[in-house]
Amino acid sequence: MNILHCDLDAFYAAVEQRDNPHLQGQPVIIGGRPESRGVVATCSYEARKYGVHSAMPASQAYRLCPHGTFLPPDIKKYHSVSRQVFEIFTDYTPTIEPLSIDEAFLDISGCHKLFGSSQEVGILIRKRIKNEIGLNISIGIADNKFLAKLATNLCKPDGILLFDANMIQNTLPKLPVSSLWSVGSKTAWRLNRAGIYTAGDLANISPEKLQRIVGSNASFLIALAQGHDQRPVCPRSDAKSMGNEITFPIDLSDPAEIDQVILELSSQVGFRLRQSELKACTVHLKLRTPDFTTVTRSRTLGNAIDADLVIYNIASDLYRQSGLTGKPLRLTGINCSNLIPCDLEQPALFEKSSDRLDNIIDELKNSFAGAKISRASLMEK
């Protein structure tokens, strides 16, 4: 039992409740404003009692929970808190696979002589995060990643659970197929239509029959249903792309305003690339019109990039060539793909002044969590 799955409980909302004592015990909803087109990013467990959940339109969340507190996400603050949590993880193992800002797998195979059993390590981590950071974290422990994550889901919120051989034999077969990794609502519907409702049903089906229902994923799903998962904990993130987008409260058509949004999004994506020590070879621009028509444009470069202004110049040029200049837009997004580690890109002979400025801004953002540090051209809007 060497794999831990650690997942902070209602992370964004929990940080806001920690920092604002009057919000403790109250329904808190992080995301778009009720009157906007935004969606719920996450919400406190108090809000979930009313049926609010992530990805729900904020307007619907307000109808379900009109007395809730709606707050915009403070991503910089959440990233700062996340770094504190991951620093605690590194005190127990170097083998950490981040899944998101608030979730990770830990392989503690070589740590037992120092810290005790896997369960003791989990207890230590939970205690430190509670005492030092003021947040609750749920931890699942198992022989593999699938069962560890399943254990976390079963013990949330604020729990710790060891998914042992007894649970593999008695609990796993009774769980719905939707509990299995990669089984979404559509796949669950197809399985249910074929009379497959539980992991136990799935574990006993022939690969040939299941392949006709779910395709090439059949063998993997059967293995999961039997409690097997051979995937290792991979310390380095294999992110394929990084992006940010924004849905406007009202449609925007002024090219100068849209250009300013492109600069802000470029700065956000550039910061994320540099924090992840990655560079991108391709820049994508996403534009959505009021009738929900989505237009995408992209450009692939000879050299990988991570500088804010380089990303901005490419994206701005793509906007001018899109045929939508001056036309109303409801959404704009920037995505960078074909990512490579920084150490694989040959460094330039001379550092550009824009690179130095990016580095200075990054240092300030990391040093002053939550501070609103941006380029002067973004101060007007």
Instruction: Write down how long the chain is.
Output: 381
Within the chain, residue ranges assigned H as helices are 11-19, 45-48, 58-64, 75-90, 112-115, 118-128, 145-155, 165-170, 185-193, 199-203, 207-214, 218-225, 255-275, 308-320, 353-367
Q: What radius of gyration do the chain's Cα atoms show?
A: 23
The neighbouring-strand residues paired with 329 are 252
Taking the C-alpha atoms of residue 305 and residue 27, their distance in angstroms, rounded to an integer, is 42
DSSP 227: T
- 103 a catalytic residue: yes
Q: Which of 103, 208, 277, 380 is catalytic?
A: 103
The neighbouring-strand residues paired with 283 are 299, 336
**19 SS3 class:** helix
300: left (phi over 0), alpha (psi -120 to 50) or beta: beta
The residues carrying an active-site annotation are 103
